[in-house]
Chains A and B, each alone.
Chain A
Amino acid sequence: MASKISKLSPADFLKLEPERENRIKEASSQALQHEDSYHPNQIANALHPDVQHLKVEKVDAFSDDVKTYTLVADQEAGTDKIAYFSAGQYLSVRLKVGSIELTRPYSISSSPKNALEGYYQLTIKRVEGGLASEYILDNWAVGTKVSVSAPQGVFTYERLRDAKVVIGIAGGSGITPFRSLAKAIHDGDEDCSLILLYGSRTKDDILFLDEFNAMVGDKFKLVNVLSAGEMEGAESGFITADLIKKYAPEGNYSIFLCGPQAMYNFVDKEIEKLGLRKKFIRHELFGEYRNPEKESDYPQEVVGKTFKLKVVMAGAVSEVECNANETMLSAMERGGVLAPANCRSGECGWCHSRLVSGEVYVPTRGDGRRLADLKFGYVHPCMTFPLSDCEIDVPPFKA
C-alpha cells in the first residue's frame, strides 16, 4: 500500500532548504514594524490604553457633597484621545493624598457618545470619612491633572445575554452608570429599554432629575422611590419585590443593581422573592469590603491585631503594617506602596499577587479568584485580610 506514494520523489526533500534560503534572500531587509502599527493592535490600544492622562475641564456642583467633573484628554501629558466605552463601565482613578497613593473605581456618568465628543464625566458623592471622595471634592478644580485607567468592568448591557427590558435599581450615587445607560439608549447606542427605579432619601437628593425627565419616552421610564418625604409621581418607601412587579413588563426582564451595600442587603432579598434566573440579575461591583469580622467564618481572635506585610515588587522589597480589618491593598497604599488595582472588589483580578507566606482571610462573597489560584496560593490583595504576618509578591503598577 505504501508503495503508492513511491510516485512522489523523496529527493524533493533536498529542495526544501534551497527554496527557503531563496525566499529569505529575496525578502525585504527593511527594519521590522512595531506591533502597534497593525490595525487589530491599534483597536486594542485605543480601547484599552494602560493609562489615560486627563484634566478637569469643568466642574458642576450639585451641592458641596456631590459634583460632576468633566474630564478631557491631556495631550501635553501624552493622551491624544480618550478611550470609547460601554455604558456601565468605570474608570479607576489614581490619586495621591499626602503620602498615600491609591486608586478608586468610579462609574462613568456620561454617555459613550460623549467619549467620542472628547469627554468623560464622573459624578462623585462625598462619603463621610472616605479618603478618595473627600480629596476629590475638596481639591479637584478646572485644570487639575488626573490619570485614570482604561474603561473597565462588565456591568454593561449585553444584547445576546440580557432581556430587552432592563429594570435598573439605583441607590444614591449608584445612579451614575444608569445616567450613562439612559443617555446611550437616548443616543441610539444601546437597543434595550430601561425602567429605572431610583431610590433616594428625599426629593432634594435626586441627582440629574431634570435631565432624566427630559429623556423619558418609549425606551426610558423613571420611577423615583423616596424613603423619606414625598414628591408627586414618586413612590414612597423602599424598592420591594412588589414595587418591581408593579413596573415590570410582561415576559422577561433583566435587573441591574447599583448602589450602596445597605441597598444590596435589602433589595437582594426582595429580588429573591421574584424567582428570577441568575442570568437576569446583574450587580455592579460591590466595592471596598469592610468589617470582615462580621462574617461567621472569620477567626475572632485576630480582631484588633496589626501584622507586618512584606511586599516584593519587581525585585524591590518593602514592609508595611496591615491591620487585621484592612485589605492588603489598602495597607500597601497607606504605607506608600503603589499597587495595581482596578475594581477593588475582588473581582477583576488586576491586583493578582502571590502569597509567599502567612495566613489570610478572603470573604467568600468577594472571592473572585480563579480555581488554580487557590491551588497554588495566589490572592487578590483588594479582597484579602491578613491573619498573621505575611509576605506577598505583587506586580508593579502599570502606567
Chain B
Amino acid sequence: MNNYDVIVVGAGNGGLAAAANTTKAGLKTLLLEKHNLPGGCATSFRRGRFEFEPSLHELCGVGTKEKPDDIYNIFASLGADVEWRYEDTMYRTIVRGENGYDVTLKAFREPFYDSMEAAVPGCREKVKAFIELNDKCDAALDYVAKKNGNPNPLVMIFKHADFMRCASHSTEQILDALEMPEKAKNILTTYWGYLGVPTDELNCLHFLSMLTSYMDNGAAMPHLRSHELSLSLCDVIIKNGGEIRYNSEVTEFLYNEDGSIAGVVANGEKLYAKEVISNVIANNVFARSDAKKIPERDVKLANARTFGMSVATIYLGLDATADEIGIKDYTVFVANDGNARAQDDNRLNYGFYIVNCLNKVVPDASPEGTCQMFFTMPLNGSDIPKDLKPEEYKKYKNDLAEKYIRDYEQLMGINIMDHIEEISIATPVTFARYLGTPEGTIYGYRTSGWDNVIIRNQSQVKDNGIKNLCFCGGHGILGDGYSSAYKTGEEAGIRVVNKLKGGK
C-alpha cells in the first residue's frame, strides 16, 4: 500500500513533468506537494474579477503544431491539453540617459537581425555570426550525443572548436571577441535577467540557447495562465493512474543501510519507493535527511553553490484597457544603464525592471474593459533588509511597488495608478512562503561561471551521490526557467523509467 515505484517530491514544473512521464510509462507513481495547488511558480491567483499570472513572462522552445519544439513536444507527447498563445515581438528595451535607446526586437532570425541593424547600423553581420554560433553548438551537441557522451577529442578540437569556446567563455567574452559594438552588446544581452546572472559571468552557450529558442519560435503563453500548464500535467498523471497528494510536505527522507534512498515521510506516514525524484532543492532534501547518509561531496557541492536570483513582482488589475492606458507592448525592459552587470548591481536603486501586459498576448486575460500588468525586478532574498520586521513588511512592499509604478508612469507618460482595481505584490518572502526555497530563491542555484549548465551536465553522475535519488527543476542541470524545469523533469522521469523497466 505504501510502496511505490517512484515518489516524486514537489509538484513544480520539474516534478509534474517527471511524474507525468513515469505514470505514462506505467510506473506506480506518487507525487507529493506541500502546497494545496500544483505548479510551484506555475500557478495563478485571483483577486476580484482578475486572475493573475504569477511568474511566467514567456515560454521559450514551444513552437507550434506545424513546427513543434521541445516544450510543445513534451506536452503533446504526454497528451497534456494546453492552448498556446504566441507573441512574435521578443522585447522592447528602453535605456535612459545619454547613451540610451528605445529598441523593439522582432522574433525570428531575419526580422531580429533587421531590428538590430536598424538600432545599431552596421552590426547585422556580427549579430548574425553571434546567433549562428548557437547552430554550431547544436551541431557539436548532436555529435556528442551520437557518440553517447564520449566524443573524439580531436574531432571536437578540429570541427567543434567554437562550441568549446562558447561552452567555456562568458557571453560577453564571446561578444567582445566578435567586436560587437557596445550598444549592440547591451541590446543583445537584455534577456540576462531570465537566467539571473549578468552576461559577463553567464556562460555563452547557455545564454545563446535561451536567446535563440525565443527567437526561433517566438514566445508562447498558455491561454489560462500557468495554472493551465500545471493542471494539464496533473490530468496526465491522474488519467494514467498516478496519485497526487497536496498539503503533504515531505518532512523526512528515509535511507537504507547502504545509503540508498528508501522513501519519505509525509503527513506522518512512511512511504517507500524504488526511486525518488526530487523537485525540491538539494539543500532542503539534505536538511530533512540523516546527515550521516549524505555523501561528503554532495554536501560540499550544495555549500559551494550560491542561491539563484529571486524577484519582486507587482501584479496590477487595471480598470481600463491597454489601449486606453496607452500600453503598446507585451514586454518592456527598462534600465538606467544598458550594461547587464550595472543593471544587477543597481537592482536596489530601481535601475532595472520588466513590465508586461498579458492582454497583449492573451487578449481575454482579464474582463472586457480591463487589463492586467505585472512589473518584475530582480530582488534576492538577501536583499530584503536584515532588520525588516514582519509588521513592517507590508509597508516595505507597498513602497517598493509605488516607486516602480511611478517611475514607469513618468517614463511612458501614462497613468496607471488611478486605474488600479486590484494589486498584489510578491517578493522573495512570498516565494519563500509558496515555494519553500531557502531565501525564497526562484532560480535554484546561481548558474555562475564555475557552476554553469555545461559543466553541470557533464558532472551530473558525480553530482548525485545518493543512489536511487535524482533531482529535477530550476535548480537542476539546465538552470532556471520553465522550459529548463520541464526538460529536466522529463529527463529524470525517462531515466527512472529506463532504469526500472529496462531499455537504454
Taken together as a complex, chains A and B put the C-alpha atoms of A47 and B157 apart, in Å, by 56
Interchain nearest-CB distance for B426 vs A (Å): 11
Number of A-B contacts (CB under 8 A): 250
Residues of A contacting B301 in the complex (Cβ-Cβ under 8 angstroms): 24, 27
**Which of B224, B284, B288, B384 is the one whose CB lies under 8 Å from A39?**
B384
- Indicate if the CB atoms of A4 and B304 lie closer than 8 Å: no
Q: Which residue of the partner chain A has the closest CB to B449?
A: A19
Q: Is B161 an interface residue (CB 8 A)?
A: yes
Chain A residues touching B, range: 35 or more
Query: Shortest Cβ distance from B421 into chain A, in angstroms?
Result: 4
Residue in A1, A39, A354, A397 whose CB lies within 8 Å of B386: A39
Complex contacts, B303 vs chain A, CB 8 Å: 27-30, 32
What are the residues of chain A within 8 A of B244 when measuring CB–CB? Answer: 393
SS class, residues of chain B in contact with chain A = helix
Asked if B302 is an interface residue, CB under 8 A from chain A, the answer is yes
Q: Which of B179, B286, B299 is packed against the most chain A CB atoms within 10 Å?
A: B299
Which of the listed residues B228, B231, B282, B398 has the most CB atoms from chain A within 10 Å of its own CB?
Answer: B231
Known contacts: A8-B174, A40-B440, A43-B393. The answer to whether A372 contacts B44 by CB under 8 A is: yes
Query: Which residue from A1, A38, A161 sits with its C-beta under 8 Å from B439?
Result: A38
Among A13, A19, A314, find the residue whose CB has the most chain B CB atoms closer than 10 A.
Answer: A13
**CB of A261 within 8 Å of the partner chain:** no
- Kindly state whether residue B47 has any CB partner on chain A within 8 Å: yes
> Complex formed: what's the CA distance from A372 to B222 in Å?
10
In the complex formed, the residue of B with least CB distance to A397 is: B247
A46 at the A/B interface (Cβ < 8 Å)?
yes
Are B227's CB and A370's CB within 8 A?
yes
Q: Mark A1-18, 1 if CB is under 8 A from B, else 0.
A: 110111111111101110
Choose among A7, A43, A347, A393 the residue that contacts B429 (Cβ–Cβ < 8 A): A43
- Closest B residue by C-beta to A189: B391
Tell me the bound Cα distance from A314 to B246 in angstroms.
8
Among B103-111, B212-220, B453-461, the one that faces the other chain is B453-461
**CB-CB under 8 A for A16 and B455, given A31-B286, A46-B390, A279-B319:** yes
The verdict on B325 contacting chain A, using a C-beta distance below 8 Å, is: no
Q: Is B412 in contact with chain A by the CB < 8 A criterion?
A: no
A370-B225 contact, Cβ under 8 Å, with A4-B177, A17-B455, A39-B381: yes
Do residues A13 and B319 form an inter-chain contact, with CB atoms below 8 A?
no
Query: Is the C-beta of A395 less than 8 angstroms from some C-beta in chain B?
Result: yes
Q: Which of B132, B390, B438 contacts A84 (CB 8 A)?
A: B390
- Complex CA–CA separation, A266 to B391 (angstroms): 37
Q: Are B429 and A40 in contact (CB under 8 A)?
A: yes
- What residues of chain B lie closer than 8 Å to A279, measured between beta carbons? 319, 419-422
- Docked-complex contact A40 and B384, CB < 8 angstroms: yes
Q: Which one of A13, A31, A154 contacts B299 once the chains associate, using CB atoms below 8 Å?
A: A31
Binds A, one of B18-26, B164-172, B187-195: B164-172
Q: Which of A9, A25, A375 contacts B231 (CB 8 A)?
A: A375
Q: Indicate if the CB atoms of A5 and B177 lie closer than 8 Å.
A: yes
B45-104 interface with A by 8 A CB criterion? 45-49, 51, 81
Q: Is the CB of A2 within 8 A of B162?
A: yes
Smallest CB gap from B433: residue in A: A44
Q: Does A73 contact B (CB under 8 A)?
A: no
A209 to B: closest C-beta gap in Å: 29
24 A-B pairs with CB atoms under 8 Å apart are A1-B128, A5-B178, A8-B177, A15-B168, A16-B458, A17-B455, A17-B458, A24-B304, A25-B300, A28-B303, A32-B303, A35-B438, A38-B381, A40-B428, A44-B432, A45-B433, A158-B423, A159-B398, A160-B417, A161-B423, A279-B420, A314-B245, A370-B44, A396-B245
A interface residue numbers (CB < 8 A to B):
1-2, 4-13, 15-17, 19-20, 23-35, 38-41, 43-48, 83-84, 86, 112, 116, 154, 158-161, 277-279, 314-315, 340, 347, 349-350, 352, 354, 368, 370-373, 375-376, 378, 393, 395-398
Known: A33-B438, A340-B247. 7 other contacts (CB 8 A): A10-B165, A23-B304, A32-B282, A38-B440, A43-B432, A47-B393, A159-B398
